[in-house]
Amino acid sequence: MSVPMVEATEVHKSFGRVEVLRGIDFVVQPGEVACIIGPSGSGKSTFLRCINHLERIDAGQMRVNGELIGYREAGGRLYELRESEVARQRRDIGMVFQRFNLFPHMTAAENVMEAPRTVRREQRQSARKRAVQLLERVGLAEKCDSYPGQLSGGQQQRVAIARALAMEPRLMLFDEPTSALDPELVGEVLDVMRGLARDGMTMVVVTHEMGFAREVGDSLVFMDEGRVVEAGNPREVLTDPKHERTRSFLSKVL
Amino acid sequence: MAAEPLPLEKERPKPIEAVPVRHPGRWLAVAVLAVLAAMFVNTVITNDNFRWPIVAQYLFSPPILNGLQNTLILTVLSMLIGIVGGVALAVMRLSPNPVLSGVSAVYIWLFRGTPLIAQLLFWNFLAALYPRLSLGIPFGPEFVSFDTNQLINQFAACLLGLGLNEAAYMAEIVRGGLQSVDQGQSEAAGALGMSRAQTLRRIVLPQAMRVIIPPTGNETISMLKTTSLVVVIGYFELLTSAQRIYSVNFQTIPLLIVVAIWYLALTSLLSVGQYYVERYYGRGTNRGQTGARLFPRRDQQQAAGAHG
């Protein structure tokens, strides 16, 4: 079997005295779409942020594509990675945030071009050309030169997806990508994500969209109080949850 | 399913023609102000003690223009040192590196905590402390050695005093600006694989500029007038030049008017410049100038209404 794209083993994380993650085991194979659901405060967003080392884990292991994240192992000891090495690891991991976090002083195309230009030192013209292609792919060809402030929430989130794709990541992380959107705008973002999944992108999606999880997800994880309560096939977990906690959560959101 | 046609627009009601709110207070205020302004203009023209011919005579006189030139040079160079130094100090202060952060904190503490006049005098009389300055290996051999008084002349002492002091104040302004930028911006940049330096230069600093510029404008205008402190080490600028003239001919008021006119002119020029710089860094945000959200203009109110 191939190396898992994401392999978390016994991941622990505390903020001060609050233990947010209490031993998470989690595996995503290449090409899979894994959805994480759970009540707020369950640690699902924190866990997602541990995958690209936006949060540093306290115990356990996080591997992406077989490579240890945030640390280097040598002679049975762990060495913290330098900032530049962490940055290199992050290039292969795209991330989409709940609140978009587009750069407001740059147009849509400039947002998408930024990382290829500064990180990969790409030429302006070729970066611009690819940015336009990516914006076309998320259905925003005509918005290249608009500033984020001139776009709707759904459009902004699609630009954010294009921006993450510009670094040609092997893995995409989505942190509640539709939670800050008006209901009528959720569909357009989910459509783009569906397209990505169809093209074989490996994705980890923290979401409240049960329909999306059921339809697109290859696996589903239900988290509560920093633990994985239940994991499995999305259709099975959603229709026939094994745990009482999962049942009561689903009865509230479905 | 055949889409039901939208109901045809019925005849539109006539636009509202309402009597606008009256503001009698405004008219009263305008009347009072108009009278006061007329009185002021009248006294300025008729009171001979202003000595307008003397003001006109000195406005473009060589000593005044000389002083003005020094004021400008000192202001521009000191602010340059202050801004560059301030950005460096602010970045150091916010760095996770405790050494850099500590050095910056001590610098700010020292330079904000001692009087500017004392600092100017200190730089000027550095030679009394260290007659020679040299480069070399600590406790080892020297490579080059300078006479302190030749290395730091009066002008250099002015720049060091004003610039290094300003850097400490600018550091706090820049730090405030950097911290005002949403944390999500750095996270997004970091997630894209950008380094801390790239994130700062490309993402955070440009956004922080919107917050940094207004107080920097303040600092620049303040510096324009603070430069007159260089008189304590025997250097001269606009105000000093005027003082030298009126200490001889006793035309105090007219010469102070000359100085005020020049300061006002420079300040106005700076305000215009600031407007354009603010507009540049405000791109992408609808707010533009500070306060536009709190006190929206009419057309902005309507645009906002159309959005929501």
Q: Which DSSP string do the residues of A234-249 spell out, in sequence order? A: HHHHHHS-SSHHHHHH
Mutate which of A89, A117, A118 to test chain B, going by most B C-beta atoms within 10 A?
Answer: A118
pLDDT in tens, B241-276: 999 999 999 999 999 999 999 999 999 999 999 999
Residues of chain A with pLDDT under 50: none
* Amino acid B162: pLDDT: 97
% of residues, chain B, pLDDT over 90: 71
Q: Between residues B10 and A36, which one has the greater pLDDT? A: A36
- The predicted pLDDT at position B256 comes to 94
Query: What was the pLDDT predicted at B9?
Result: 67
What whole-number distance in Å separates Cα of residue A199 and Cα of residue B131?
A: 74
Whole-number Å distance between alpha carbons of A166 and A131: 7
**For residue B185, which residues of chain A lie inside 8 Å, CB to CB?**
101, 103
Residue B254's CB is within 10 A of a number of other CB atoms, namely 22
The closest CB to that of B192, out of A83, A84, A115, belongs to A115
Give B26-78 pLDDT, tens digit per residue. 999 999 999 999 999 999 889 888 899 999 999 999 999 999 999 999 999 99
Of B184, B281, B283, the CB nearest to A101: B184
Who among A101, A115, A160 is closest to B193 (CB)? A115
Predicted pLDDT at A202: 97
For residue A108, give the chain B residue with the closest CA.
Answer: B284
Under 8 Å CB pairs connecting chains A and B tally to 76
**Which candidate from A54, A104, A106 shows the least CB-CB separation from B191?**
A54
Does A91 sit within 8 Å of B285, measured CB to CB? no
If you measure CA to CA, which chain A residue comes closest to B200? A118
State how far residue B275 is from chain A, nearest Cα, in angstroms. Answer: 17
Hey, what are B261's tokens?
């006119």
Reported confidence tier of residue B291, pLDDT bands at 50, 70, 90 = very low
Identity of the residue in B196, B198, B285 whose CB atom sits nearest the CB atom of A149: B285
Residues in chain B within 8 Å Cβ distance of A149 = 284-286
Which residue type sits at A104? P
Report which secondary-structure segment, H or E, holds A251: helix A244-253
Q: Are B93 and B104 in contact (CB under 8 A)?
A: yes
> What pLDDT does B303 receive?
46
Q: How many CA atoms are closer than 13 Å to the CA of B83, on its beta-carbon side?
A: 16
Within 10 A of A21 (CB to CB), how many other CB atoms are there? 28
Kindly list the residues of chain A whose beta carbon comes within 8 Å of any beta carbon in chain B: 52, 54, 83-84, 87-88, 90-91, 93-95, 97, 99, 101-107, 114-115, 118-119, 147-149, 160, 163-164, 167
pLDDT by residue (tens digit) across B66-111? 999 999 999 999 999 999 999 999 999 999 999 999 999 999 999 9
pLDDT score at B290: 44
Mean pLDDT of B210-232: 94
CB-nearest partner of B203 from A84, A91, A103: A103
Across the interface, whether the CB atoms of B194 and A99 are under 8 A apart is answered: no
The pLDDT of B130-137, averaged and rounded, is 84
pLDDT of amino acid B7: 64
Q: Do A167 and B203 touch (CB under 8 A)?
A: no
8 Å CB contact of A119 and B192: yes
pTM here?
0.84
User: What value does the mean pLDDT take over residues B190-219?
Assistant: 95
Write the ipTM.
0.93
* Residue B304 pLDDT: 45
